[in-house]
Amino acid sequence: MSLLVVGTVAFDEIETPHGKSGRILGGAATYVGLAASHMIRDIRLSAVVGEDFPNEYMRVFKERGIDTSGISVVSGEKTFYWSGRYHDNMNIRDTLLTELNVLAGFKPVLPDAYRNSEYLMLGNLTPAIQRSVIQQMDTRPRLICMDTMNFWMDTAWDDLLDVVSMVDVLAVNEEEARELSGEYSLLLAARKILTMGPEFVIVKRGEHGAMLFSGDEKFCVPAMPLESVADPTGAGDSFAGGFMGYIARCGDTGFESMKNALIYGTVLASFSVEKFGTERLLELSGKDIEERLAEFVKMLSFSF
């Protein structure tokens, strides 16, 4: 039940109508890893940071039992930095500044101990990097899930299709599913993506929940209605962490288990957005998760 997470570890600086975060820990691999750490123990991060990355943040991972030996620290360089501002309704955000810094030269080399990981989550990175990670594995993971974004569809189409054909689960948002497939209907988009290689397609819909497709099967869940959203940053990655953490824990990759994983992903994402950055993911207890899971399952349940 080992999970390898490859992706960004970053400094984020976030503004919302409710306040400013200051410079905080962010990045896709950070959210995936922290969310998954509530489900399983053996999590390994592969990422790159600059020499400005504080030990305090490394300790955050270690305290959650996450292996950081695959996070390379590049001296003389700075950590990837992103700042953004959310509009009133929290659905639209403007990127204020992106400084790739050390990420520009990121070529992950997996530590030997990572190469036998049973589950692999590829956060959004260039398709070529995602592929190189798959190729470094000693044995093919039991399940590979990848995230991607429109940018690679516009700039690295062939590489992207190649990696998509190598993975089991593709997790994209509505807009990405549409651009990748050329279909507006999410049902048709998912069917088309399923012909590109993945056995499962997840469409992440933010505050409207998530959809899972495989063969002729589909499963859709709404998001958890919340009293307030403090910061949507990392919601999709927290979802992916909850999803992969559940799969790694239960060890089954059939459609019924995937449904439950979708539910866990939605629950972890619902916590993530309640406070700035990773704060809520870090303070969360197992009891908190079980209570919200019970509430969520109740909200979805009916009987004819």
Binding of residue 91 to a second copy (CB under 8 A): no
Q: Which residues does 121 contact at the CB level (< 8 Å), separation at least 6?
A: 3, 4, 5, 6, 7, 32, 36, 145, 146, 147, 240, 241, 244
Q: For tokens 């659905």, name the residue.
A: 91
Under a CB-based contact definition with an 8 Å cutoff, are residues 68 and 62 in contact?
yes
Q: Which of 203, 4, 277, 238 is closest to 121 using CA atoms? A: 4
Considering only residues 207 to 236 of the shown chain, the ones binding a second copy according to CB under 8 A are: 208-209, 211, 218-222, 225-229
Size of the site for a second copy (CB under 8 A): 30
Alpha-carbon span 205 to 268, nearest angstrom: 15
Q: Is 136 or 260 the residue whose CB approaches a second copy more closely?
A: 260
Q: Smallest gap, in angstroms, from Cβ of residue 2 to a second copy?
A: 24
**What is the distance in angstroms between the CA of the first residue and the CA of the last residue of the chain?**
37
* Nearer of residues 57 and 86 to a second copy, judged by Cβ: 86
96, 100, 113, 300: which one binds a second copy (CB under 8 A):
300
Q: Using the rule CB under 8 A, which residue among 205, 230, 273, 280 binds a second copy? A: 205
Name the minimum Å distance from CB 232 to a second copy: 13
Which of residues 4 and 221 has its CB atom nearest to a second copy in the complex? 221
Cβ distance 273 to 226 under 8 Å?
yes
Minimum separation from the CB atom of position 42 to a second copy (A): 23
- Say how far apart CA 172 and CA 150 lie, in whole Å: 9
Please identify, using beta-carbon distances, which residue of 72 and 253 lies nearer to a second copy: 253
Among 89, 95, 135, 195, binds a second copy (CB under 8 A): 89
Q: In this structure, are residues 231 and 14 in contact, taking their beta carbons and an 8 Å threshold? A: yes
In three-state secondary structure terms, 110 is: coil
- CB nearer to a second copy: pick between 53 and 213: 213
Asked if 158 is part of the footprint of a second copy (rule: CB under 8 A), the reply reads no
- Binding characters for a second copy, 252-291, by CB under 8 A (x = yes): ----x--xx--x----------------------------
- DSSP for 48-91, please give it: EEETTS-HHHHHHHHHTTEEEEEEEEETT----EEEEEE-TTSS
Residues contributing to the site for a second copy (CB under 8 A): 89, 184-188, 205, 208-209, 211, 218-222, 225-229, 256, 259-260, 263, 297, 299-300, 302-304
